Amino acid sequence: MKKVSVIVPVYNTEKYLRRCLDSLVNQTLKDIEIIVVNDCSTDNSRKILDEYQSKYKKMIKVLNNETNKGIGHSRNLGILHSNGEFLSFIDSDDWVNVEMYEKMYEKAQKDSLDLVICNYDKMLENVDGSITKISNDYVIPEYLNTNLYETPEILLTVNMAPWNKLYKKSLFRNIQFPTDLKYEDMIVVIKTLANAKKIGFMHESFNYYLVRSKSETTVMDQRVFDIFKITDLTLDFLKKQKYYSEISEYVEAFVIRNIFRYTLQQKNQKSRNLKIRFLDDAFNYLENNFPNWRNNKIWKKRNAFKRLIESNKTLTKIYCDLF
């Protein structure tokens, strides 16, 4: 058994793939395996993967989907073929600090953790190809070792992406990434947060998250409506937790913030009709699930100006049209 299995879904990222793989094969923790799942790339990604697999036979395992299955399926396949005590994920256009897995694994072993979470740097790819560090959506506090029941505010302070985290593989015993919905990360991160008996945090930024102008995270289309389905799955899961009543206000605040994150992102929506429909559906979703959401004490601590825009459908529409 390896100490860590790193799972890397790949689809048409030839421009970034070498940087990602170089950051993995040069890890100071040597007892790792790198499982790359090529999702029928049509560029030179497969050629690059063959080159790295040939050079690092004992470290890299390449799996090839027969048809394009999507990132959720690719991650699930990687988990199925993994042999590590711990799992980690990285997107193939991102990269990591070469000490990431050594330091996070040491933290996990030292403190007997099920899940370790680090900070990350958000990097913007400019038009000329240069990269600039920009402000993060999250700066994760360095909590003492805890869990979701003891510290429900982590719903609001931890990002819902899988790539800045080290998971004990046993957390995934009954967890899979959804394969038919966008925003599949959220339900998986929520389930691992809830299932982990002990979570540790590190203030270091070990992951470099690249924002591309035309990436999955910046382009808005019809699939943005999947956020409501993913949120339904998340709510259904959290409501089944025996301590739900004690964290319900944090869950409500989490849903409010998350829905509004996507209403404001409608400034990137290509279709005005989809933009208006999504904004209408978003406010209806909150009213139907949390009729008193405007009185949520946690959400009301948010910056008053931002809260004013977010909570008013007309102002949100104006914001999205202007910016």
Residue 16 sits in the same domain as residue 107: yes
Residues contacting residue 49 through CB under 8 Å, at least 6 positions apart: 10, 17, 36, 38, 60, 62
Q: Are residues 237 and 136 in the same domain?
A: no
Report the distance separating Cα 114 and Cα 193, nearest Å: 9
Query: How far apart are the C-alpha atoms of 80 and 77, rounded to whole Å?
Result: 5
Domain boundary among 154, 186, 211: 211
In a domain, 16, yes or no: yes
Give the model's pLDDT for residue 314: 94
Residues 170 and 56 in one domain: yes
Q: How many domains does the chain have?
A: 2
Q: Which of 145, 178, 211 is the last residue of a domain?
A: 211
In-domain check, residue 307: yes
The verdict on residue 216 lying in a domain is no
Q: Are residues 41 and 147 in the same domain?
A: yes
In this prediction the pTM is: 0.94
CATH assignment of the domain containing 85: 3.90.550.10
Per run of 10 residues, the mean pLDDT along the chain (length 323 residues) is 97 97 98 98 98 97 96 98 98 98 98 98 92 88 94 96 97 96 96 98 96 63 94 98 97 97 90 93 97 96 93 93 84
Query: Residue 151: inside a domain, yes or no?
Result: yes
In a domain, 217, yes or no: no
Shared domain check, 234 and 96: no
Same domain, 148 and 14: yes
- Quote the pLDDT of residue 213: 67
Q: Please name the residue ranges forming H helices in the chain.
A: 14-25, 45-55, 71-80, 100-111, 154-157, 185-195, 226-239, 244-264, 272-289, 304-310, 313-322
- 246 and 302 both lie in a single domain: yes
- Are 227 and 97 found together in one domain? no
> Same domain, yes or no, for 94 and 156?
yes
Is 206 a member of any domain? yes
Domain carrying residue 170: 2-211
Q: Are 194 and 105 within one domain?
A: yes
Residue 268 CA to residue 271 CA, distance in Å, equals 9
pLDDT at 42: 97
Last residue of a domain, one of 190, 211, 232: 211
pLDDT at 268: 87
- Same structural domain for residues 61 and 172? yes
**Same-domain status, 6 and 83:** yes
Within-domain flag for 79:
yes
